[in-house]
Chain A
Amino acid sequence: MARIGVFVCHCGENISATVDCDRVAENAAGLPGVVHSVDYKYMCSDPGQTLIREAIREHRLTGVVVAACSPRMHEPTFRRACAEAGLNPFLCEMANVREHCSWVHEKTESTTQKAKDVVRMLVEKVKRNEALQPIKVPVTKKAVVIGGGVAGIQAALDIANGGHKVLLVEREPSIGGHMSQLSETFPTLDCSQCILTPRMVEVAQHPNITLWSYSEVIGLDGFVGNFTVKIRKKAKSIDEHLCTGCGLCTQKCPVRKIPSEFEQGLGTRSAIYTPFPQAVPNKPVIDKLNCTYYLKGRCKLCEKVCPTQAIRFDQPDELVEVQAGAIVLATGYDIKRADFFPEYGYGKYKDVIDGLQFERLASASGPTGGMIRRPSDGQIPKKIVFVACAGSRDPAKGIEYCSKFCCMYTAKHAMLYKHKVHDGTPYVFYMDIRAGGKDYDEFTRRAIEVDRTQYIRGRVSRIYEKDGKLIVVGADTLLGAQKVEIEADMVVLATASVASQGSEELAQIVHVSYDRYKFFSEAHPKLKPVETNTAGIFLAGACQAPKDIPESVSAASGAAAKVLGLFANDELTREPLIAAVNRMSPPQYSTCIGCFLCQPVCPYNAIEREEFKTRDGRLIKAVARINPGLCQGCGTCVALCRSKSIDLFGYSNKQIYTEVAALLDEALV
């Protein structure tokens, strides 16, 4: 027999000002099953909680209803109080008579009636609550970081320095990401490689970090603390244990005219290659799409010259499964490329380049050795036009957001150019100068005031070629939208940064949500910026939204801190408000009919197939089983189940139908 206690809170005067609390308590005392009902000024205060604890012991209560504020406010408080008195915390429910009643209605009889109704509904519900035990799951204390740019590197190092094993997975042959391509960094103009490469080496040498380059994540199963990550290690055609990275093969390779991805197509590479001299790991891979042996079946020059016989033409791709407790996504961004800007002649005129290409031109290790030269004829340009917001903040291009770091790098480009070509003139077409950040505004001011960059507020409508010059046609909106034409030698487009190629597929593989631009979505835009909606999966860097280096690094450290916090536990406990398929013994008597329509609707892949077989292996019945570790308790399967075999703890059919009945049944009113 149920023994329910009802506790009505006045919340000072917050509730009692419009609701007649004594009458609510009095009314509740008359409900079937209620053995104790009181009202008190502040239930959540220490004496209030003591009142509940003592009543539980004294009246041997089997359920508690606290009529007070929103359960989103104090449910944990009252559940804890119940647990302290020896009552299962899930046998405590809250009737929301403040946010949903006293605060939104006038002081009338029907407001008190509403409070009575809500209490009655919850009393009927709590009678049908079950004592639940929190779910405990073990934690695999190993993290997988996907993406080896600066964010991935930072996250991996922070987790590794925290004492846990990390697997860093990078799809390119080397880690380093976009930052390794940059020449100098704003606002200090220190060399990007000089600050990044020591970190890359640290990753390679760290005893807690395993680095798998040229590898991709192709599958993810499991749940927080217990993920299984499927990774494809693409064949490098090299035995990494034997290869010393001497580079003889890359020098001898006869295929030499392949546009280098690292140099953004401004330089070339061979078919067996390391992307750049400081690559980590500094061992080459064979690009099968361009290698003569893979295309025509002969050559093998690299095999002949290799002093350690490390070349393996028959090496297959390797599929590996890894156990991990947490995942950090750090897949970064891409920039918009050719064909996206036909009006700017990008992809048509060789001297219209993008920001990353300019970085390579300005880099001391780049194809021109750090000299700013036109890609078309190698001349030093005397006039460069930089076009900010090429694609960004442009609804017509479908990219409405601000790419965030272009204002800063455009100022930096203009400065670098001026420092290298003293008699040159840099022009910048801009919409707004967005230089929020430490020392950022000072930096752009310096580009304008000290380095005399000509900033023109307006957009460029068209670029065309005439007599070897690029004619940039734009408007100067500060001069009343006057038409401006500049005869430039080179044009640099600060093209929009977009989600990294393959982000959408990865998001689907790991089950995190993404926005309409394919950037991964954080769990809360302000208070959970590095978490995703999937527990145990975190975000670092520009895979979430365009971010500059300092922001990416702080996000990465934030994600690492979350991972370390998770790994501080040997076991995780979760609220047991999850779904379950009914079971009877023997188990094949489940009412589940095995239609498995619940499987595709589950957003967490938590529904498994369980088969019952005879001793000789004949299938008796297949039923659904819900993995309690994966289920988050949304209940979509419960509503869908045709045979009503699934129920949700805490929101069971019995509980919910009873709530409706309790409100509307005339017998109870």
Chain B
Amino acid sequence: MAFVCNWCTYAGADLTGTSRLRYAQNVRIIRFPCTGRIDFLLLQQTLAKGADGIIVSGCHPNDCHYTSGNFHARRRWMVFRQMLENLGVEADRVIFSWVSAAEGAKWADLVNETVESIRKLGPYQKYKDMAKSLEEWEVTHE
């Protein structure tokens, strides 16, 4: 699953298309106005629903269409990553990157590298199961 901003990475991924570069098929892109919009609970939910890896990509520092959204995202991610690690979640499954509207090739590389590294980690069934059992627990204890 890839969460990308509309102005840089979405456009960069469009450029990958226009340049006819090939990359791995098992990525699905969701468009956001800005990476600053991404609520990190969404990442947690995405893993819980069964995604094996997540790419979050926006504009390079200082290039944000909204001036500073990417900085907020970066800061939030630094905190969230530590939290995930403390909780024993495999934080390496979330790849944080910057791809500009001119970096079509970088997008293709990013997807390929991510798919490869996630493949090494294997499916994240553990988290999914855990989330499911938690959900069931909540239902029974309501």
Contacts and interface: CB of A to CB of B under 8 A. Distances in A.
Contacts of B97: none
A376 interface: no
A475 interface: no
Contacts of A458: none
Contact of B67 (A603, A656, A660): A603
Interface stretch (B21-29, B86-94, B115-123): B21-29
Contacts of A96: 14, 29
A577 interface: yes
A1 to B, nearest CB: 26
Q: State which size class the interface on A falls in.
A: 35 or more
Given A121-B30, A657-B42, A636 B49 contact: no
Contacts of B10: 70, 72
A660 B20 contact: no
Interface in B29-44: 29-34, 36-40, 42
Contacts of A665: 49
Contacts of A99: 13-14, 16-18
Contact of B38 (A72, A639, A663, A664): A639
Contact of A651 (B18, B32, B62): B32
A289 B37 CA distance: 50
B51 interface: yes
Interface residues of B, number: 43
B31 A71 contact: yes
A323 interface: no
B99 interface: no
Interface in A97-127: 98-100, 103-106, 108, 110-111, 114, 117-118, 121
A640 B23 CA distance: 33
B76 to A, nearest CB: 7
A648 B37 CA distance: 9
Given A533-B65, A533-B67, A664-B51, A104 B108 contact: yes
A513 B21 contact: no
Contact of A117 (B17, B23, B28, B73): B28
B42 A636 contact: no
B95 interface: no
Contacts of A118: 28
B20 A103 contact: yes
A168 interface: no
A544 interface: no
Nearest to B5: A634
Nearest to A118: B28
Contacts of B1: 660, 663-664
Contact of B39 (A117, A632, A638, A663): A638
A263 interface: no
B36 A634 contact: yes
B24 to A, nearest CB: 8
Nearest to A665: B49
Interface in A577-627: 577, 601, 603-604
Contact of B72 (A100, A601, A650): A601
Nearest to A516: B62
A640 B73 CA distance: 10
B72 A660 contact: no
Given A70-B17, A104-B17, A665-B49, A639 B76 contact: yes
Nearest to A14: B17
A278 interface: no
A603 B69 contact: yes
Contacts of A173: none
B33 A651 contact: yes
A659 interface: yes
B133 interface: no
Interface in B1-21: 1, 6, 10-11, 13-14, 16-18, 20-21
A648 B25 CA distance: 30
A633 interface: yes
Contacts of B26: 110, 114
B45 interface: yes
Contacts of A114: 25-26, 28
Given A110-B26, A639-B76, 14 more contacts: A70-B14, A70-B17, A72-B10, A99-B17, A103-B17, A104-B17, A104-B23, A118-B28, A511-B67, A638-B37, A656-B42, A660-B1, A660-B51, A664-B50
Interface of A: 70-73, 96, 98-100, 103-106, 108, 110-111, 114, 117-118, 121, 511, 513, 533, 577, 601, 603-604, 632-636, 638-640, 648, 650-651, 653, 656-657, 659-661, 663-666
24 contacts: A70-B10, A71-B31, A98-B17, A99-B16, A99-B17, A103-B20, A104-B16, A105-B25, A114-B28, A513-B67, A601-B36, A603-B68, A634-B65, A635-B32, A636-B34, A648-B33, A648-B37, A651-B32, A656-B30, A656-B32, A660-B30, A660-B46, A660-B51, A664-B1
Interface of B: 1, 6, 10-11, 13-14, 16-18, 20-23, 25-26, 28-34, 36-40, 42, 45-46, 49-51, 62, 65-69, 72-73, 76, 108
In the A-B complex, the 9 residue pairs with the smallest Cβ-Cβ separation, listed nearest first, are A99-B17, A635-B37, A634-B66, A636-B36, A664-B49, A103-B17, A603-B67, A639-B39, A99-B14
